[in-house]
Structure 1
Amino acid sequence: MEIIETEQVTGNQSRSPIDLNMSKMTVVNLKSLDWHNYEIVPKKLKITNTGRNVVVCGNWQKTPHLSSGPLRSDYTFSQIHFHWGPTEMMGSEHLVDGASQPMELHAVHFKSDYLSQEAAMRETDGITMLVYFFKLQSVPNLALNGIVNSLSSIQPPDSSIRIPVEPISNILRPFEDDYFLYKGTVPVGKYETPVMWLFSREPIAISLEQVAQFRNLNDRNFNRILNNLRPLACVNPPVFYANPKGSNYASLLPVSPDSIP
């Protein structure tokens, strides 16, 4: 695999989502990604059913943020949201080696210079998205209980509740190296906003019963939200593999044993 430098990673964006295949990526040497304050317990956490998605946001005395790696500034954590489909075989927006995963988590970060996610989404370098895929296991993942157990309370659209506070690093396992990235987009109204996508190779464990709870939520027509996935883009952009360190047997690693209750 060819090795390139940082400047070649931050080029023009392409449509998202895409199919990720490690064998077709270009290796890039970057500084390690730096994580700040993700282990801090927030002052509060709130979960919302937007009528299309589940969003988790919070308030911190010191807000988590990312720096270094492919990022040319600090990027402040804004929110987590989830994507799922009608079955565990069709549950992720991005594909991995041609296959869909049971669910997909996006952790939205905005460039700190722009002060808010809303302002950052109007800029070409405003948003960085961390992506974690889910893998099925036979027992529930206890780290997800605060979120999953609250879903029955936000079944109606546009409803919110507070959930028990915990560091978001309990869910978002930090990775400094050995990750994938590309410049893509997210839809905002009629437009596509540029996004730097960063993908963890280590998935999050989840049970069938936990995935099913997300499909009980209602949209604004009071129908169950069975699918909030975008269609796959027709053309794959250049995708990069940053600082390889793990196994190259498959694009996704197994679930870490210390994340299984």
Structure 2
Amino acid sequence: MRARGPAVILLITCVLGPHVTCQDHTEEEEHDKQPAGPGHHHWSYQDILEWDKDYPECGGKAQSPIDVDTQHTVFDAQLRPIQLSGYNLSTAETLELENNKHTVVLKLPGTMKIIGGLPEIYQAAQLHFHWGSKSNPGSEHMVNGRRFPGEIHVVHYNSEYTSVEKAANHSGGLAVLAAFIEKGPDYNEGYEPLLSHLEAVKDGGQITEIPGFDISRLLPQRLDRYFRYNGSLTTPPCLQTVNWTIFNQTIRLSETQLDLLEDTLHHDHDQLLQENFRDPQKLNGRNVLSSFKAPVLGRKAAGEGEVM
């Protein structure tokens, strides 16, 4: 679908790169009004090869996701553990959960922050998921050619800006914490406060409110081992302003929980919402940093719940 003018509203989804400039004040103002979740209209995963026609950034040189080749990552001793603040929310606080026909989005309060592991303080905006189907894994990022069943993205924005929409137009304005989801033998109680409400947003466009809970339990326990690179939002408008952190430790859901994520939500015409992921993009000379030293090839296999 073609954009109808310079003031067209571009819709943001998940998550760093060169400075993005707007052509005029009208367009910049419209950019600043964009919602913080994955886009609601104008594009689909069926026309993914056409995204760059309406959203030129999608054809840029610093796109996401990527396939992390662990033998070519660069160890950086200055990458410190990710430190979170305000993630354990009270049940008295209500959060908005939405099926926007592309994914399920949980809006987060700005009191949730990343206070360590990045050069600036970043405030939370939202989290969402990417998944596949029983026959096709659906993580966006890959590691050594391996795709995982699913992936969580927790989107934050640089606190020097007044909103996630304003931050998205500036280099390093966004920071996304990403973690892979795979099947495990046990029920993951940390995911119950979210997964138990998916039925309430089963149909595309539905919104419900859920009680606050400890959002940190949706992420891996180890926040010190991760990959870091500069990239983009993985859906239109694909703005290249995202600082990506991909954790080495995976999240494990039971088979029942994974089925719930893959088989509950619908988009248009009562069709299951599945395989909502973009394939890896070229690095084009970008470095992928690692907060830990990669094992010598052949000497140490990845441990349980780790990608390497």
TM beyond 0.5: yes
8 Å contact from structure 2 (residues 77, 291) kept in 1: yes
Letter in 1 for 2:275: N
Structure 1 position 239 matched with structure 2 position 269: no
Structure 1 position 84 matched with structure 2 position 131: yes
Q: Secondary structure at the match of 2:199?
A: helix
Letter in 1 for 2:187: P
Structure 1 position 53 matched with structure 2 position 103: yes
8 Å contact from structure 2 (residues 17, 241) kept in 1: no
Partners of 2:120 and 2:194 lie apart in 1 by: 30
Q: Tell me which of 61, 75, 79 is aligned to 1:27.
A: 75
Partners of 2:288 and 2:79 lie apart in 1 by: 17
8 Å contact from structure 1 (residues 178, 246) kept in 2: no
* Cα deviations by residue, 1:59-81 (Å, 9 ceiling, x for unpaired): 47xx1211343x32210011110
Check 1:190–1:89 CA distance in 2 against 1; reply closer, same or farther (3 A cut): closer
Q: Secondary structure at the match of 2:192?
A: helix
8 Å contact from structure 1 (residues 110, 127) kept in 2: yes
Give 1:139 shift: 3.5
Letter in 1 for 2:205: D
Letter in 2 for 1:77: A
Equivalent position of 2:270 in the other structure: 222
Q: Secondary structure at the match of 1:30?
A: coil
Partners of 1:233 and 1:245 lie apart in 2 by: 23
Partners of 2:102 and 2:127 lie apart in 1 by: 14
Q: Secondary structure at the match of 1:192?
A: coil
Q: Secondary structure at the match of 2:129?
A: strand
Equivalent position of 2:54 in the other structure: none
Letter in 1 for 2:268: R
Runs of 4+ displaced beyond 4 Å: 10-13, 243-248
Letter in 1 for 2:103: N
Check 1:22–1:88 CA distance in 2 against 1; reply closer, same or farther (3 A cut): farther
Partners of 2:122 and 2:135 lie apart in 1 by: 32
Unaligned runs of 5+ in 1: 1-9, 257-261
Give 1:172 shift: 2.2
Higher strand share: 1
Equivalent position of 2:40 in the other structure: none
Letter in 2 for 1:14: A
Unaligned runs of 5+ in 2: 1-15, 19-60
Letter in 2 for 1:76: Q
8 Å contact from structure 1 (residues 38, 169) kept in 2: yes
Structure 1 position 41 matched with structure 2 position 70: no
Paired positions, count: 243
8 Å contact from structure 1 (residues 54, 82) kept in 2: yes
Identical amino acids, percent of aligned pairs = 26
Q: Tell me which of 229, 249, 259 is aligned to 2:300.
A: 249
Structure-1-length-normalised TM-score: 0.82
Structure-2-length-normalised TM-score: 0.71
Equivalent position of 1:108 in the other structure: 155
Q: Secondary structure at the match of 1:90?
A: coil
